[in-house]
Amino acid sequence: MNILVLGGTRFLGRHFVAETLARGHRLTLFTRGQSPNPFGTAVELRVGDRDPDVGAGLAALAAGQWDVALDTSGYLPRHVEASCALLDGRIGHYIFVSSVSAYADLSSPGVDEGAALAALPDPPSEDIALHYGGLKAACEAHVRARFGNKALIVRPGLIVGPHDPTDRFTYWAARFGAPTLLGARGARAVLPAPPGRTIQCIDARDVVAWLLQAIQAQRGGTYNLTSPAGRFTMGGLAEAGHELSVARGFDVTIAWVGEATLEARGVVPWSGLPLWIPDSDRVLRGMLAVDVTRALDTGLSIRPLLQTLTDTLEVLVSTPQGQRFTSVLTAELETELAATA
């Protein structure tokens, strides 16, 4: 199979390319050339920009035909519309990686694929940080309009695993398995009580496995893609993390701190303590409990948290990190909070 990846060198796309190459498929990567290409001559690299108004834009994609296109780098509707128009008639199956953030209302658990999508309050806006969900929803609309039943829209929750460039899950791998990466940490890791709090995430490699099944089945439509609601909890994360810490010689224990205390001390949900969305957040408190029944019914499989933590840590400690963990809970504040538990 001949596959085009819009992206492909950093995180989700990197895992997709690695697995797809291992299965003997031909890969073309369209990137800006700003991240190293870990695959060398095993892939065809075409350099350009998703923005047709920047440099050569999409010119490198003017020729060629592919069985599948995987779009992991579409954030702005104008960019996605341009690439869809250029590739129309030369792609058999277009897969767009969207996000559960595309939903208009994540205040309650159980959001499924039929729920209303976010609308852009200012349609010309290209402020990704401010309008991420609405922009993703608008991108989806362009893909569907152009490719119809040849389009597959996936809405992942938090994607985690090896090569994750963010701190949203890697913090926990570091906190339990390499706490010195976070400064002079104490022996007690602060987690938001209660232990039964539901969390959702999905290993990038599990996303890839499902995508490859979907490609084989030529599946279209829309699917939420993350762990089943209730499968993972903060308590489960604590157990897996402690097991990892013991294996690494640290024996980190848990200090369960109530969210009223966390909020009073200024701990920022999601970034300060990754995977924590407080019950008081009436806008996003359902974001970690979306419905993934459709994906489960089509073969979605989720690996254990311990495996993802372990593999994430292995990459984390073996590669230069640069500036990381600048927004998470500080060592000093964690020590103070642990003393209250």
Topology of the domain comprising 2-156: Rossmann fold (3.40.50)
- For the cut 70, the answer to whether the pLDDT of residue 207 exceeds it is yes
Q: Do 71 and 83 form a contact (C-beta atoms < 8 A)?
A: yes
What would the DSSP string read from start to end of 300-319? -----HHHHHHHHHHHHHHS
pLDDT bracket for residue 323 (50, 70, 90): confident
Position 23 pLDDT exceeds 90: yes
Quick one: 110 exposed, middle or buried, by C-beta within 10 A (0-12, 13-18, 19+)? exposed
Domain coordinates in residue numbering, the chain? 2-156, 164-201+232-288+304-338
Give the orientation angle of helix 204-216 with respect to helix 12-22, to 10 degrees: 50
**Longest Cα separation, the chain:** 63
State pLDDT tens for residues 39-67: 999 999 999 999 999 999 999 999 999 99
pTM of the shown model: 0.96
